[in-house]
Amino acid sequence: MLLVFLGGGVGSALRYLISKLLNPVHPSFYWGTFTVNILGCLLIGAILGYTSKVNLLSENQLLLLATGFCGGFTTFSAFAFEKHSLLKNGDFMPFFIYLASSIILGILAVALGLWLSTKNPF
């Protein structure tokens, strides 16, 4: 529990910093949240893929990195709230572009992370 808590705290703090830096770039698109979600998907894919390939990380390390850090770093609760805000404001095109690209690129980023961690040595 402590490892998940610590990893989640670091992930959440990093998510906040990235969002604070990138979200003001364009008022109709949350670049910080988008970036964090895609990077988080890539990272969890790489962590879990590498672990399944070489079985190097312990269960505690996985709890710290995958469950804690990646869980705190990714922001799908913020993602859902921001989608609601776009719909409420009538920003339908940014809503659909953000929704579709987040889901598609997130899935592709997980696949890329898995491929990178199992096909290429770190």
CA atoms within 13 A on the CB side of 50: 19
Please give the Cα distance from 28 to 33 (Å, whole number): 12
67 has binding-site annotation: no
11 has binding-site annotation: no
Q: Judge residue 49's burial from the number of C-beta atoms within 10 Å of its C-beta, 0-12 exposed, 13-18 middle, 19 or more buried.
A: buried
Residue set of the binding site: 71, 74
Residue set of the binding site for Na(+): 71, 74
